Structures are given as C-alpha cells and as structure tokens.
Amino acid sequence: MTSDSAHRLILASGSPRRAQILYEAGLNFEVRPANVDEDAVLYGESNIERAVQALASAKVGAVGGTGTEEYVLGADTVVILDDRVLGKPESKDHAKEMLGRLGGRDHDVITGIAVADLSGQVTTSFVRTVVTFNELSESCISDYVSSGLPLDKAGGYGIQDSAYDPVARYDGCYLNVVGLPMCETTKLLKISGFLLARELTCQGHSVAADGSVIRSFKFRENHS
C-alpha cells in the first residue's frame, strides 16, 4: 500500500517507532533525522503544548521543507509528571527512578506534530493522552531496565512493552504514547495537501468499561 502523493514525505526524526508507525500505515517516506537542540527549544517555552509544537517545527526546519518536491513531518513526544518533563533516561539507574516515580499514578503524554507543505508552510498541532501506570515491583523494574527497552524512550517506558505491562489504562490516543498519533498526523497531512491512498486511523482510542486497556490495536516494536 502506498500513498497517492507524487511528492516525497520526509520523516524528520530518527525514532524507529515513528518510522514503524508510518510504515505500517502504508506510507512511502524517507527518514532524515533532524539535528536540533531539543532542550533549548523545550525549556525556552513555558507552555508545554506550544513547546512540543515548536520542537516539531524546529525538526521540520532543520531538514529542509523549502523545495517543491517534499513534504516534511516532524514530531516530538514528552511525558509530564507533576508538571515536570520526563525525558529519556540518562542511565539505567535513572530509568529505575523514573519507573518508580510513575508507579500507580496518572501522567500526561503529549506529542507535538508539524508538517511542512510544498511551499514550506508549516502547520502544527498536538495530542494529549492521560496514562495510568501500573505499580511495578522492584524485580519487574530491574528486569525491564535490564532489557534495555526503557533507555531510548521518553519517560523510560513504552506502552507497547507488554511483557512488562507498564500501563494500567489510558484515555486518548494509543499511538500518541508510542510516539506518533496517526489521527492528528493524518489531518495535518491532508491540510498540507499530501494525498493519501486510504483513510488512516489510530485505533485504540477507547478504554474498556472496567478501565483496562483495549488491546484491539497491536503495535509490536521491531527490534531487528
């Protein structure tokens, strides 16, 4: 399955999860990671929703998006706990600390998205998902961190890491927590004039009556 657009889509991110989401959606795209001082952008803006959109826009600008041959997509995801940004763990001990702090509590996951059209005009948006974390035992946290999975993820976990069951439930977009909400991404692509071969949906926006995660959307991270 390919997109109908005659122009290239550039993903301005080195995230393997964002690339996998686009691939599984059937889009043709090129990965072109952006070199951006993320901390300078994030912490230079007091409003986190504006900050993540500014960072997504900065990624788009860093890879181009000024010609007539390319659409450029940028995104950035942050985890917010107690009004503080939890970035990627700096070490295994830091990851363990993060997982311990998240245990049994609600936190927000916010992704800023930016798309540049063929003229270089950038449109931005953001998506928020509220996540309730499971209370993980010390041994589970230790095993999870030893697996290496938390170390390249904002907040130190992945909702898709089902072997360690970090998430009790969520309210909002599942793929937003993975790193790229296709619901809002599709809207921005359409606004920017990028033609899609079919309607793309996120799935996983609902929660079961008992509050548990509905597993209808099966995102499986490719570690190869």
Beta carbons of 10 and 72 less than 8 angstroms apart: yes
Give the range among 127-136, 168-177, 190-199 with minimum mean pLDDT. 190-199
Listed by start position, the domains of the chain span 8-191
Positions marked active-site: 76
Quote the pLDDT of residue 214: 42
| Structural fold of domain 8-191 | Maf protein (3.90.950)
Q: What is the pLDDT of residues 183-192, one digit of tens each?
A: 899 999 999 9
* Residue 46: other Cβ atoms inside 10 A: 7
- Cα–Cα distance measured from residue 157 to residue 151, given in angstroms and rounded to the nearest whole number: 8
pLDDT at residue 65, rounded to an integer: 55
The pLDDT assigned to 204 comes to 59
* Average pLDDT score over the chain: 86
Alpha helices by DSSP H, 117-195: 138-146, 174-178, 182-191
Decide: 126 and 55 in contact? Cβ < 8 Å.
Answer: no
Count the helices and strands in the chain (H runs, E runs).
Answer: 7, 7
Q: In the predicted model, what is the mean pLDDT of residues 199-204?
A: 60
| Structure tokens given for 221 | 């991270």
pLDDT in tens, 1-42: 344 456 789 999 999 999 999 998 888 999 999 998 888 888
